[in-house]
Amino acid sequence: MFKEHIATYREEAGELLAELETSLLDLEETPDDDDLINRVFRAMHTIKGSGAMFGFDDIAAFTHEVETVFDLVRNGKMAVTKELLDLTLKSRDHITTLLAASVEGAEIDNAAGDALIAGLRGLVAPSKANESQPEDVPSAAANTPADQIDQADLQTWRIRFQPNRELLLCGSNPVSLINELRSLGDCLVTAQFDGVPPLDALVGEHCYLYWDIVLTTSRGEAAIKDVFIFVEDDCQISIQLIDDQAAGEPEYKKLGQILVERGDLSPEALTQTLNQQKPLGELLVDQGAVTSDKVLSALDEQQQIRKIRQEQPAADASASIRVPAERLDQLVNLVGEMVTVQARLTQVSNTLGDATFISIAEEVERLTNELRDTALNIRMLPIGSTFSKFKRLVRDLSRELGKEIEMETFGADTELDKTVIEKLNDPLVHIIRNSIDHGVETPEKRVAAGKPAMGTIRLGAEHAGDSVLITIHDDGGGINRDAIRNKAIELEMIPANAELSDQEIYSYIFAPGFSMAAKITSVSGRGVGMDVVKRGIEGLRGTIAVDSELGKGTTITLKIPLTLAIIESLLVKIGPSHFVLPLGAVEECVELSRDDIRAAHGRNLANVRGRLTPYICLRDQFAISGARPDIEQIVIVSVRGERIGFVVDFVVGEHQTVIKPLGVLYQDVKGISGATILGDGSVALIISPGDLARMAETAELDQL
């Protein structure tokens, strides 16, 4: 059980560290944002408290040092400076290292942590030395003498702290939490024993007590919540403001009202007890202080307000649960198998022609489609969490290269499959690094060119049908088309007399070993980064488009499918074999007759409404024997912005494809990206249009 808690802590700490980095980068832009400061403090407070609870003493001790500094910041005793943010970001990286070392059992560089602590303490020392200066902003610290605190700032809170019985098993100590509350101000604690069972039923490891606490403090509700922040899921905690000194209310609630508000006395019991006396209205009428009509009018008002308030709908509490990713993957795999079985059921029902059987098959198909959509939506996550990681990359790398670059994002709420988001990280890293190194110029060059000294990289996402378009734009110097062409000729990638479009020339940026860097640096120059981008995006069945204007900037657009598990596709047939083409890439289907072939004079070109379109004959490409039909079909798809056709015997129609990976022996087969199982149990190969197009281009260049 304890191991499960440790695994949960590591997972939650990783999420908190990601949130911490994002908050710190946002804080750099708006250093006076109190909400961001509180988010940073709470993240570190949770990491520290939970770390100490589960035995990560090194993480707790180190994080305490950072937390101490931000406690001064949120109390107005320190300002957010560049030095503080630099040290805090490095401290965040060090905590990540400590967390990883706890998993891998690696050695920890204590010297790096000590250096960071020394730097943080160096920032705190001048702040403490100036605490007595008049211009300091006073802090409402818990230990400040009562006569030095403005009474108008004091608030009294009612807190009920009721731990779950298993709290002690998690390593938490309720007494330490109560003592932390005592440090916030004047505190009155009352232990409640009504949950303690008889001695023969008592379990020594369980916590049966709960506490009612009345706390008067100037620290506010946030400070109280911070005390319970890392045990809030294991307790029932109620925090209510019961007296605001600033309101100046001289009277306080009656005893019965207090007991009812706490939940210790039911309203019925209070009413029954009070009914033993005469109601206030009757007493007033008996004394002649007021007429009975006026009492009835006041009662009507009271009842009306109560009725309206009771009819107001209570807001539904949103709830979420944490599910291991492996279970989601297993669910999607099972749904994929169900889709295959459903396709087979539909095929069999249509063959038999039984109306009842067909009706059942249609109902199963409807339910299967709904289940498929629900299962896939569960794995959908907003891409903003990935975008936020790159702000740190742009910040650190631009400083290393002596450049001024800011990063803008849009479409952060665009959702993608969890697996797709994970595989997008490396390609995006290489593209952004390339934009920083090769794209955006130094401040001096930008000013000389009439541009602002600070460059901009815009990263965004938007939905486009069953795909997502991810755009990376920089306002740098753009791509020199002629320089790339000359470099490709120098590397003997193309002949000197080759006529290529801009897109074809830009595509060599992604060729293995191709680099325009004059020298090798820690950032680029080895010609491997953009090749990684190409392989990564193609592995996601995506495409890359490059658009650039010299002196103005470059835009790289990635088109990525929403999910890798199930796709809409076009089923085609060549001889006895079936193949599948991704429907998102298909533009249209046209016929190809013998006359069309003769009119092309042996070239693989088709005249489609006056436009010549090159095509690849898949029967020849895959060496499928048999006679070609008199009229074939050309499936025209878009590859890297160009139209290219694939000739098949005939088009079967749309098909819902559950993607299955190829076996180990067939992983390197070019032109095929996977396979799927059809309704009759046969296998159809999934064609990769981009791979086949490149294979055809390579073969054509070899013939030149």
Superfamily name with CATH number, domain 566-703: SH3 Domains (2.30.30.40)
* Per-residue confidence band for 188, with pLDDT thresholds at 50, 70 and 90: confident
What pLDDT is attached to residue 212?
A: 86
Distance CA 427, CA 386 (A): 12
CA distances from 91 to 107, 118, 141 (A): 17, 12, 26
What pLDDT is attached to residue 360?
A: 93
* Per-residue confidence band for 294, with pLDDT thresholds at 50, 70 and 90: low
DSSP string, 90-138: HHHHHHHHHHHHHHH-----HHHHHHHHHHHHHHHHHHHHTTTSTTSPP
Per domain, the residue ranges of the chain are 2-129, 140-249, 329-379, 381-561, 566-703
What pLDDT is attached to residue 367?
A: 92
The pTM for the full model equals: 0.60
User: Which has the higher per-residue pLDDT, 295 or 648?
Assistant: 648
Amino acid at 48: K
Q: Which of these ranges, 106-120, 134-148, 243-257, has the smallest mean pLDDT?
A: 134-148
**pLDDT over 70 (residue 479):** yes
**pLDDT over 70 (residue 494):** yes
Q: What is the mean pLDDT of residues 130-138?
A: 43
**pLDDT over 80 (residue 145):** no
Q: What is the mean pLDDT of residues 605-612?
A: 86
Distance CA 477, CA 516 (A): 14
Average pLDDT, the chain: 80
Local structure of residue 151 (DSSP, 8 states): G
**pLDDT over 70 (residue 525):** no
What pLDDT is attached to residue 584?
A: 77
What pLDDT is attached to residue 126?
A: 63
SS3 508: helix
The phi-psi region of residue 681 (left if phi > 0; otherwise alpha if psi is between -120 and 50; otherwise beta) is left
Distance CA 508, CA 533 (A): 12
Which burial class, exposed, middle or buried, applies to 32 when counting CB atoms under 10 A from its CB (0-12, 13-18, 19+)?
exposed
User: Which has the higher per-residue pLDDT, 12 or 256?
Assistant: 12
What pLDDT is attached to residue 252?
A: 58
Tokens of 33: 């944002």
pLDDT digits (tens, 9 = 90+) for 661-676: 777 777 667 788 788 8
Q: What is the mean pLDDT of residues 290-310?
A: 65
pLDDT digits (tens, 9 = 90+) for 30-70: 888 888 888 888 888 888 877 777 778 888 888 888 888 88
Superfamily name with CATH number, domain 2-129: HPT domain (1.20.120.160)
Amino acid at 185: G
SS3 188: strand
**pLDDT over 50 (residue 613):** yes
Residue 233: enclosing H or E segment and its boundaries? none
What pLDDT is attached to residue 603?
A: 86
**pLDDT over 90 (residue 303):** no
Which burial class, exposed, middle or buried, applies to 321 when counting CB atoms under 10 A from its CB (0-12, 13-18, 19+)?
exposed
Q: What is the mean pLDDT of residues 507-535?
A: 66
pLDDT digits (tens, 9 = 90+) for 447-460: 999 999 999 999 99
* Per-residue confidence band for 316, with pLDDT thresholds at 50, 70 and 90: very low
SS3 494: coil
Q: What is the mean pLDDT of residues 378-398?
A: 85
What pLDDT is attached to residue 304?
A: 60
Write down the residue that tokens 């440090």 correspond to.
183
What pLDDT is attached to residue 4?
A: 64
**pLDDT over 50 (residue 139):** no
What pLDDT is attached to residue 470?
A: 92
**What percent of the chain clears pLDDT 70, i.e. is strictly above it?**
84
pLDDT digits (tens, 9 = 90+) for 56-108: 888 888 888 888 888 888 888 888 888 898 999 999 998 988 888 877 666 77
SS3 395: helix
**pLDDT over 80 (residue 410):** yes
User: Which has the higher per-residue pLDDT, 658 or 67?
Assistant: 67
Select the CATH number that applies to the domain covering 140-249 from these four: 3.30.70.1110, 3.20.20.20, 3.40.50.720, 1.20.272.10.
3.30.70.1110
Task: Give the total residue count for the chain.
Answer: 704
**pLDDT over 80 (residue 307):** no
Select the CATH number that applies to the domain covering 381-561 from these four: 3.30.565.10, 3.40.50.300, 3.30.9.10, 3.40.50.2300.
3.30.565.10
What pLDDT is attached to residue 138?
A: 36
SS3 660: strand
What pLDDT is attached to residue 516?
A: 66
pLDDT digits (tens, 9 = 90+) for 318-357: 456 777 778 888 888 888 888 888 888 888 888 888 899 9
Distance CA 215, CA 185 (A): 7
**What percent of the chain clears pLDDT 90, i.e. is strictly above it?**
11
Distance CA 164, CA 178 (A): 16
